[in-house]
Amino acid sequence: MPVHRTTSQRLLLGLACCLPLPLLADEPANSDSSPPQSWRRSRAIDFSAEDSPRLLRIPLDTDFWTHTRPGYPDAAVADEREQLIPFLIRRSPGSASGSTAFIWNPSAVELRPEPDDSLSILVKLTQQDPVPEYLLIQTPLQDFEQRIEVTDESTTPPTPLCDPALLFDYSRFMDVRRTEIALRKSSSRSLKIRIATATDDLESPFRELTRTQTGSGVTEQSEKSLRVRRPFRIDRISFRSSRTTTNSTLPESRTLNLVRIEEDLKQRSTIAEFTSDLRPITSLTLQTPSRNFSRTVTLQVPADDPKEGWRDVAAETLADFSTDTLNDRRLELSTPELHTTRLRLLIQNLDSPPLQITGVTATGPQYEVVMLAEPGHRYSLLYDDELAERPQHDLGALNRALQLNTSASVASLQPVAERQLQPPAPKPGPPLLASPWVLGTLIAISGALLAVSLYRAVIRLDATTDQSATTPDTAPDNNTTRQSP
């Protein structure tokens, strides 16, 4: 009996040692952080070779916006060794400059009639006023001619700021009028405007008719024109100058494709739908020949959930006021930056006739890739990946170069090249079973159940062996009879 139990314990210990105990260890997770290799599109970056590192600017085009995810997390730059290179995507800095007109009225104006029937106007400018480039004299009079001179009174003798000019209005013959003259640039804050005649003679449309009857009974008739003395009325004196502006980002404009226009009689509005190409949009300009209107316009884009239809992204009042003396057009609708293929305008007409829509011009910033190129290397822009995450690069050197306004060379993107993708990796199992703790616990439980089953089997085996060993010594022989002699 003791021998059998010792053998059974040895058998149980040997089976337990065969269990896959190494699976119970907590193995470290795979720390392979190699970048994904499933970018579908590759475009070589074309730039002239140099012997030193330099800053590159690569403008992005429609293909990039069409094949990248929102926020472009799947964009990357790699060299010929398939190593990822630090880069930035930013709005292209503006190099285009323009000028805007600035009109203002001087705060100090003094009128002084002169003995020769001329009129002098003394103007004092403040230090905050810009240098005047044009003089505007606003008058309600028509059919006049006036000679005008402008001088700088801060010098001795006064310095002329323009040649003797003629202001006129020939409305009697044609709609021709000039009440503005150009000035030479001067930093003077004291100007004198001299108008040749404070009053002028104007021929009256009325005639004086005189009839005289002679002694012979003949009536003589004479007609005489009348002339009226009219003062030169001035409503306001203004100056105009130009202000130079530089755009912080270089805008890019394009005309969107008009898909359909329909009138919604229930909402008393016009719905105009357009298509775009996913390039950035920050403003829309309505194109219409309609005049003298003011309408509330709402910009809509498709909602994230197709079941919800459209969602509002911007609203503004667009107007056009055009008369003989007024020209005020406000047809631009500002919006947050959009990347969409479809959009529509909802124009509230109420009971007014609908506007005639001929198109919409979209304006948005240009974007570019900025990177540091090393001599002797070739680079490519990679994008179009459904699983790629935004690379985490050390951008210290690149940001420092941008802060110092380092001059950059403009590169270009070559046509798209399809990449040969690697076979997709097997999909990971459910997160619960993928955990080593959960998997190890399941294996430990299975091993414990197996050990209990083996232990019970050995106990039953020992009991059966003991019974078979004791039965021949104790059982009587009922078939044999022995007699003593």
User: In angstroms, what CA-CA distances link 40 with 32, 256, 385, 413?
Assistant: 22, 28, 6, 16
Q: Is residue 31 part of a domain?
A: no
Asked if residue 288 and residue 350 are part of one domain, the reply reads: yes
146 with 211, same domain: the answer is yes
Share of the chain above pLDDT 70, in %: 76
- Within a domain: 431: no
In this structure, the answer to whether residues 304 and 357 fall within a common structural domain is yes
Would you say residue 108 has pLDDT above 70? Answer: yes
Q: Which domain holds residue 264?
A: 251-365
Is 294 found in the same domain as 194? Answer: no
Q: What is the pLDDT of residues 72-84, one digit of tens each?
A: 999 999 999 989 9
Mean pLDDT, rounded, for 317-334: 84
DSSP symbol at 471: H
Strand segments (E) across 248-326: 251-255, 257-264, 269-275, 281-287, 293-302, 310-322
343 pLDDT exceeds 90? yes
- The total domain count for the chain is 3
- Cα(129)–Cα(104) distance, rounded to whole angstroms? 8
- pLDDT category at 50 given cuts 50, 70, 90 is confident
CATH number of the domain enclosing 223: 2.60.120
Terminal Cα distance for the chain, rounded: 41
Are residues 144 and 224 both part of a single domain? yes
**CATH code for the domain of 334:** 2.60.120.260
- Tens of pLDDT along 409-419? 889 999 998 77
Residue 129 lies in a domain: yes
The model's pLDDT over 344-387, given as tens digits with 9 standing for 90+, comes to 999 999 889 999 999 999 999 999 999 999 999 999 999 999 88
Q: Phi first, then psi: what are they for 214, rounded to 5°?
A: -80, 175
Q: What percent of the chain has pLDDT over 90?
A: 35
Q: Is residue 21 part of a domain?
A: no
What pTM, to 2 d.p., does this model score?
0.51
End of a domain among 222, 243, 264?
A: 243
Q: Which two three-digit tokens encode residue 107?
A: 């705060």
Nearest Cα neighbor of 313 from 347, 271, 274, 343 is: 343
Query: Where residue 172 falls among pLDDT bands split at 50, 70, 90?
Result: confident
Same-domain pairing of 48 and 127: no
Examine residue 396 and state whether it is found in any structural domain, yes or no. Answer: yes
Encode pLDDT of 114-155 as tens digits: 888 888 999 999 888 888 999 999 998 888 888 999 999 888
Rounded to the nearest integer, the mean pLDDT of the chain is 80
What pLDDT shows up at residue 112?
87
Residue 12 has pLDDT above 70, yes or no: no
Pair (106, 77) in one structural domain: no
C-alpha–C-alpha distance, residues 376 and 53, integer Å: 10
> Could you tell me if residue 314 is inside a domain?
yes
Q: Domain check: are 135 and 167 in the same one?
A: yes
Amino acid letter for position 436:
P
Looking at 243, 265, 290, the residue that finishes a domain is: 243
Give the residue from 243, 259, 280 where a domain finishes: 243
Looking at the fold, whether 237 and 104 belong to one and the same domain comes out as: yes
Q: In this structure, what are the phi and psi dihedrals at residue 141, rounded to the nearest 5 degrees?
A: -70, 155
Note whether residue 352 is domain-resident. yes
Please report whether residue 293 resides in a domain: yes
Residue 72 shares a structural domain with residue 152: no
Whether residues 169 and 205 share a domain: the answer is yes
Residues 83 and 169 in one domain: no
